[in-house]
Amino acid sequence: MARAGRRGAQMLVAAVLAVGLIVMMVLVNVYEMHSLFLRTRSPVVREVVAAVTADFKRALEAMLALATRAYFNYTEFADFTERFASYGMSMYNRHNFTVARGVALAFLEYWRQSVVKAYGAYGVQVSYELLRLDLSRELGRPRSVYSLMKGYWYLPTSGSYACAKLRLNLTALGFYNWESDVFVGLTLTVYRRPVAVTSANTTIVINVRQDGDIDYSTSPPSVRGSPYGRLITGGWIRVYYPERDAQGRYTGAWRLARIKDVTYGGMGNYTVTFEPAVEVLTDPLTGEQYAPLMVVVSDERGVVVEASTYGYLVIALERRTPDTLVYYDSSREKQTLARPSDISNEVYTLEMGSDLALYWLGQRLPVDPALRLPPFPYVPIKQIRVNASLDGTPRTLVERPIQYENWTTTLWRPANVPVDLPVGLADPQLDFAKGDRYNTRLVFQVGFPSASVKRQLVALWWLDDLDAEPAAYPTQIRYVRDQAHKDVWHPLYDVEFVDLEHPQSRGYANYGGVAALVLRDPVTDYALGPYNLHAFDVYGGYLGRYRPYGTWNVYYSYMRYSWIQAPIRIFAVLNTTLVGNVYAGGDVRGDYYATLAIVQVVNGTRYVPIITYVYWLKSQEGKGYWMAAEMGRGVADWFLYLTAGLQAVGGVKLQNWTYNSPFPWRSDPPVECYPDPGVMLAHWSSSLGRALVLNWAGVRALSSVGGSNARFCTTKFAPSGERQGSIEYAFWPYNVEETVGAGTLVRFWAVIFDFRAAGPGFLSTSTTDMWKNAYIYAPMFLEAYAPIVRPP
Amino acid sequence: MGRRGQVRIVEAVLAVSMVVAVILLLMHFTRPLRSVFIRETSDLRRLGYNLLNNLAENRIYERVLSDLIYAANAYFAQQGACPPGGGSRRLDDLAFFASAILPQGLLFRIDVYTVHHALRNGSAVVCPLGYAANYDVGRVALTEAEPLVYTYVCTGDPDRVRGSVLLIHLTIGYSG
């Protein structure tokens, strides 16, 4: 038994061994089959994955090239960019990276479909997801690429980037979950200081990096570009330098430099020599030296980067308003008036043109010749911002609202004189570039909160993010247009524009198409009476028969960004050759004078400037000729005017003499007029004061056209018999008949200034002396006291 | 009992052996490729993709086909259809570059198509641009040939073709 059992056990062991061997043989054979399968499959997988990944990268490259070429110069690369117009990449959207991104996503979707169909035999499934990669090390500032692609331009280190994660399955080959992070990039660093400037040439060094490695040790993963050595053979470089006029001042335009030599020094460094010699400037904030240049490079894939050697412009604005004012009282005694330390109502609303000129009330500001102000790079307007200091020091530079407007210098046809005319708010996606006739103006405000601050710093800078939107700032002004309103609301006054479109002023007169602006109480909507732009002759017993007749064009929102209201000012423009009669409908004439008026309603200020041009088409004779008049609707209890010193009053020529004013409301005589009107008229009550400040050109025009007949007048009653109490600048009063000659041109600005008896920025005065709170601000509206632009 | 058990073990071993033998026989007969063919297939694929990648990396497609791609794009943009005559057009410049890259003795045919995206209905339309070959395609037949497919987004100069999408069919093999 024991023997038989031993033999059986041996048989069992032998059988297990035999079965084991057979199973092992089967396993080896299966393994061989599997490896054979892998060997036959892997070349296909490898090659297909590599081919699809490479093509995905090419698709990204093409789309980044499209976006950046369109952003840089759509028309120059129209062969490329226009082919994608049907996708949305139109000339209109050339500076819209959001649209470019949408085009890229649509293109990638079509590409995906193409790949799925092309590699259908392998069962290809393709998708991609958007990545975020950190560019801080690459750009030297905290930036990242996300949402498929991003561009950071116009600074010394600039770049264009795209990235996405590709996901791939080859279902027919049993290959799943392939992922590949694809990154496309081009980075340009321009070393700010040139390495050499000779009498004819400038030599700079740039560094160019393309694509690069992704470092997954950081979160999010970061990239560092690889040196790009094919700029000379595969890409191109352009250098732009700022144009200067014969006096050496920058004009605001750019010129393409003539590149004489480009040398590759390895590691992505290139030495570029070009004509001409460029002035080396000093950065006012850092003290670094730099040559003001724009450098643009493109690689062989068409990806473009634009860099600038500077990222901001800094100027100093120096106020020239006197802190102690002089006037002569009604006794002809010289008096001085010290401004309060708080002069917070001295806020200048400045314009800076793309020609680098600064304007205040349409007047070009004087510039210190020592100021070296290079132009803005070719940056879209939407990316421009402004900082202004609070106390004149760089540490208080804070961002302020900015507004972009389109202006043109054009011949005003009736008079054939050149005028600067606003033609609307700008399209923020256009370049802030100097034009021959059309120029964009940046509008910003600089305040002088206290008398101790004489200079303020202003830094104009630009965002490097091509996705930047125009800034929307909170504002207290708003345009309201409906059947009852054509108004601009302001916290201090509601300005109602009456004209052909909106003849009926609410609760007031029907102007029958005559264009004027009615100031209203912003709380009660009570009409305080109109400001009449100009008036001529009488109509029976009524004053001011012919007044400008037409329609105000009100500009209050940006093109394409219609939801962004003008943050700083809303302006209305009247351009007409007609005059009309408020007293008789249909009495409209085209043989009197043409009027061009620009009215600004300015946020955060107490003034409404009105720039006016009047040109006489035919000679006309009439009783009374008014330059400008502000009605009162009985609100004012006191009146004041200052003399010009151009005409003798009581045998004396004296400037800023109050003569017999201030005087209180009195019903008799019905019209009161005084000679030699000067820079300011005012009427007020204890709660509300309004002044008209006339510039010196206007004061002189009063005298040159009206001669000794020039008058300040106040009309006591309206035609309805209601109390009026206006303040009027008249070339000659209603009871004088004179002729104004054809070809007479009158240009002036008047500023309506709101003042109170006390409060921030004002002296505490009695009601009688309230006018002084207008007088302390009047100089800021006069030509001689306009601020001067100096080096910081 | 003990002898009968041993016989059953022998039977089991024989049964397993027969099953394995049948499996091996089946595997032998169902083996998909001969080793020589496996090697040739892998090599041809590698060669083919190397060729296509080389042409892509050097932007040969844009250089030699830019006029045709531009014309095809323009035609499709205007007519909404493929330009006529594309299928029979010989692309000799492309054939020249391909011949320079491939080793001697191999025959190839590269059919190039432009891919147009019809934005209205979201479809992709493929239009033949022509073919490049180093043999007389009408007379010579390929043996042991390997077909490859490739997509290519043009990224090189000139601008007028940048962003165009190509579909490329490559057939590579030996003369029969």
Q: Which pLDDT score is estimated for A248?
A: 86
**Does the beta-carbon distance from B42 to A59 stay under 8 Å?**
no
Q: CB of B27 within 8 Å of any CB in chain A?
A: yes
Q: Which pLDDT score is estimated for A46?
A: 84
Q: Can you tell me the distance from the alpha carbon of A761 to that of A773, in angstroms, rounded to the nearest whole number?
A: 9
CA distance, residue B153 to nearest chain A CA (Å): 6
Co-location of B113 and B60 in the same domain: yes
Co-location of B60 and B143 in the same domain: yes
- Which of B33, B157, B165 comes nearest A114 by C-beta? B165
Q: Which pLDDT score is estimated for B39?
A: 52
Nearest residue in B to A55, CA atom: B152
* Residues in CB range of A448: below 8 A, 6 or more apart: A319, A343, A344, A346, A347, A454, A456
CB contacts under 8 A, B 53-112 vs A, are: 53, 56, 59, 73, 77
DSSP characters over A274-322: EES----EE-TTT--EE---EEEEE-TT--EEEEES-SEEEEEEE----
All residues of chain B having their beta carbon less than 8 Å from the beta carbon of residue A66 are: 162-163
CB contacts under 8 A, B 142-161 vs A, are: 148-160
Digit-coded pLDDT (tens) for A498-525: 999 999 999 888 999 999 999 999 999 9
| Residue A566 one-letter amino acid | A
Q: Which pLDDT score is estimated for A766?
A: 95
Q: Can you tell me the distance from the alpha carbon of B98 to that of A431, in angstroms, rounded to the nearest whole number?
A: 46
Number of domains present in the structure of chain B? 2
Burial (CB count within 10 angstroms: exposed 0-12, middle 13-18, buried 19+), residue A148: buried
Looking at this predicted complex, what is its ipTM? 0.82
Q: Which pLDDT score is estimated for B35?
A: 47
Digit-coded pLDDT (tens) for A372-386: 999 999 899 999 999
The residue assigned the tokens 């001067």 is A788
Co-location of B45 and B25 in the same domain: no
All residues of chain B having their beta carbon less than 8 Å from the beta carbon of residue A4 are: 2
Domain-located, residue B102: yes
Residue ranges per domain, chain A?
29-312, 478-785
Residue A631 has pLDDT above 80, yes or no: yes
Q: Which pLDDT score is estimated for A38?
A: 63
Q: CB of B22 within 8 Å of any CB in chain A?
A: no
DSSP characters over A43-60: HHHHHHHHHHHHHHHHHH
Co-location of B16 and B48 in the same domain: no
pLDDT band, residue A4 (cuts 50/70/90):
low
Digit-coded pLDDT (tens) for A89-129: 898 888 889 999 999 999 999 899 889 988 988 899 999 99
Q: Which pLDDT score is estimated for B31?
A: 53
Co-location of B133 and B168 in the same domain: yes
Domain-located, residue B36: no
Residue B86 has pLDDT above 50, yes or no: yes
pLDDT band, residue B119 (cuts 50/70/90):
low
Co-location of B124 and B90 in the same domain: yes
Co-location of B15 and B67 in the same domain: no
Q: Can you tell me the distance from the alpha carbon of A774 to that of A682, in angstroms, rounded to the nearest whole number?
A: 8
Displacement of CA A491 from its chain's centroid (Å): 23
**Does the beta-carbon distance from B162 to A47 stay under 8 Å?**
no
pLDDT band, residue A16 (cuts 50/70/90):
confident
| Range name among A27-36, A167-176, A273-282, A659-668 with the lowest pLDDT average | A27-36
pLDDT band, residue B136 (cuts 50/70/90):
confident
Co-location of B92 and B110 in the same domain: yes
| Range name among A460-469, A581-590, A736-745, B12-21 with the lowest pLDDT average | B12-21
Q: Which of A83, A168, A230 to substitute to test the interface with B, most B CBs within 10 Å?
A: A83
Digit-coded pLDDT (tens) for A753-786: 999 999 999 999 999 999 999 999 999 999 999 9
| Residue A130 one-letter amino acid | L
Tell me what the mean pLDDT of segment A398-406 comes to.
Answer: 93
For A478-785, CATH number?
Answer: 2.70.98
**Does the beta-carbon distance from A301 to B156 stay under 8 Å?**
yes
Nearest residue in B to A76, CA atom: B159
Average pLDDT, whole number, for chain A?
92
Name the residue among A624, A546, A535, A539 with its Cα closest to residue A591. A546
Co-location of B146 and B95 in the same domain: yes
Domain-located, residue B81: yes
CA distance, residue A118 to nearest chain B CA (Å): 7
Number of H helices, E strands in chain A: 6, 51
Domain that holds residue B106: 41-175
- Which of B9, B46, B159 comes nearest A15 by C-beta? B9
Digit-coded pLDDT (tens) for A310-358: 999 999 999 999 999 999 999 999 999 999 999 999 999 999 988 889 9
Co-location of B27 and B51 in the same domain: no
Co-location of B115 and B158 in the same domain: yes
Instruction: For the beta carbon of residue A524, count every other beta carbon within 10 angstroms.
Output: 9
Residue A29 has pLDDT above 90, yes or no: no
Q: Which pLDDT score is estimated for A576?
A: 97
Q: Are the C-beta atoms of B74 and B83 separated by less than 8 Å?
A: no
Helix, strand, or coil (residue B157): coil
Digit-coded pLDDT (tens) for A58-92: 999 999 999 999 999 999 999 999 999 988 989 88
Percent of chain A with pLDDT over 70: 98
Domain-located, residue B106: yes
Q: Which pLDDT score is estimated for A706?
A: 95
- Residue A288 sits at φ, ψ, to 5 deg, of -70, 150
Co-location of B96 and B14 in the same domain: no
